[in-house]
Amino acid sequence: MLEKLLGHGGTSAVFLAQQKEPERKVAVKVFLRRADLDAQKQQEFHRRFLQEAEAASRLAHENILPIYSYGEEDGYPYIIMPYMPGGTLAAYLARRGPLSFKEAQWYLTQLAAALDFAHEHGCVHCDVKPANILLNSAGEAMLSDFGIARIARTDIAPGQTSPEQAHEILGTPDYISPEQARGLSLDGRSDVYSLGITLFFALTKRLPFHGDTSIALALLHVYEPPPSLALIRGDINLAMDRVVLKALAKQPEDRYQTAGALLAAFSAAVASSDKHATRSIDTSLLADSEFFSPVMPASTIQVKPARSQHHSGLWFIRGLIVSVALLVVVAAIGVPLFFQHEGSAKSRIIPKPVATATISSIDMLHHPFQDQADWSPSPFFYFDKQQHYYVDNPHQNESIIAPFYRHVLKDFKLTVTMRETRRQNDFVNDFQGVIFRASLDQANRTDLASYYQFSFDPYGSLEYQFQRFDKGTWVNLNEDANHDISTIVAPPGKSNTIMVEARGNSFSFYMNNTLVVSNVVDPNPKGFASGLVGFYVEGYQEEVVYSNLSIVTP
């Protein structure tokens, strides 16, 4: 039974539905009638859709969204797929902005594996783009819409026109390959081109070509060379720029011949970029640590503003004059400042996060949200432009935690402001708050994690809770106290500020500048001595935005 519309485009609409046998949530994609096809061509399109959907349904791969079933109802072809609560990569990029190199590499690894598997089984996707990349609850990518892919024709040479393609072009104009735009026969290298466009967009939040019409876009893909990534994003090195430009070569034989080859070249370029990364961070931290997240971390990306290409010579002369002036200013001011602050810069190196380590630099934690690379990247954890951090829980009957990786704390004072921006049910207890002294499983399994948690329910029970979670077991640490916060908590829609003080085995908590409970002692002699801090959201489809985070250590 269809429940609601999830989204729609020019050729299809996707609905959330409840399936009875087996009982589960599914997504139903219905293909709309195309105005550019007459009745005979429409019938032929439906016939080939059902034929190719049957072949695509046999593609069993962990990064390919499976097709549960397919068919036609009242002249509308449809496919039934799993419901993906993470939404699309397109929606994630709209919130997240340009990806870091590591996160882009993480997604590219999954997509390349999916495409190479499909190509090995004779299937060309024909519509690789962020909107067709779905994310599961863990943020992992699955390539969808193989139901409208083409079965590769081995009887037609590449570059030749096939009878089926002579009068139609499938795909999205922003992402189609040159041979696709020309209506020629396709093989896996067409998907490599579209994957290159997707990578270009993921790194810059811009498309390489812009046209007023589909025909104009098609001509740009066929004839116009793509712009250099380095002109758009300042931290792109030459090797990375060459990788993307090769993926976007006009002739299929000049591109990477497989998606895996593109991945290997991009990974090598990322490794080359890492060698020239910021020297103030010890890169050995990023491995061999029980606190390191296997999910690729996000980072703040600066994208250069678009600039007209007219009067390039005049811009060059002006730029040269400004550059010389800036060099003079830097020489006069920057050099003395460098020697003046050389010692403090060294103190900002992050120590290796072993179980007993503590943060030695208080200054580092005055504004922890500036270290965005150390926060969990996911469709459910993201920053806005004001450095506010959003945590959205997509899980029914499960809480979600967002740790601050690589910063291991023992004694500290943490202050943070939070506001609930969405909740599923006003009558359900939905606790939100912080975790601290957390030790996480290397596979990010929350049931194997250990941490303290202070949280409160601002609209339901109007209570707080202080608990210890140890690998699946909850213990209330302040069970006999009065947990009522109704006189302290802010009204719905307003922000609440909490403060946590941890000193040895004693803990105190404040809410909105009011002491809630002081000097609570964990009676367990094996209580947690140190660990990560982070955020906690309990309610299903509850979203909480965190801001003004401050962490001070002794």
Residue list, annotated binding site for ATP:
29
Whether 125 and 149 have beta carbons less than 8 Å apart is answered as yes
Q: Coil, strand, or helix at residue 159?
A: coil
Whether 456 and 448 have beta carbons less than 8 Å apart is answered as no
Query: Helices 188-204 and 101-120, interaxial angle, to 10°?
Result: 170
d(CA 134, CA 26): 13
| Best CA proximity match to 466, nearest among 430, 531, 516, 395 | 516
Whether 456 and 463 have beta carbons less than 8 Å apart is answered as yes
Measured CA to CA in angstroms, residue 167 lies from 36, 170, 184, 413, 424 at distances of 10, 10, 10, 67, 48
d(CA 190, CA 183): 12
Q: Residues comprising the binding site?
A: 29
Amino acid at 205: K
d(CA 501, CA 267): 43
Whether 14 and 78 have beta carbons less than 8 Å apart is answered as no
User: CA 380, 382, 384, 387 torsion: positive or negative?
Assistant: positive
The residue from 38, 116, 127, 384 that is catalytic is 127
Query: Helices 259-274 and 188-204, interaxial angle, to 10°?
Result: 30
- In this structure, what token pair is assigned to residue 124? 């060309």
d(CA 92, CA 390): 12
DSSP states of 260-322: HHHHHHHHHHHHHHHTTS-TTS-GGGGSS-TT--SSPPP----BPPP---TTHHHHHHHHHHH
d(CA 389, CA 373): 12
Tell me, rounded to whole angstroms, the distance of Cα 340 from its chain centroid.
39
Does the annotation count 374 as an active-site position?
Answer: no
d(CA 93, CA 401): 21
Active-site positions read 127
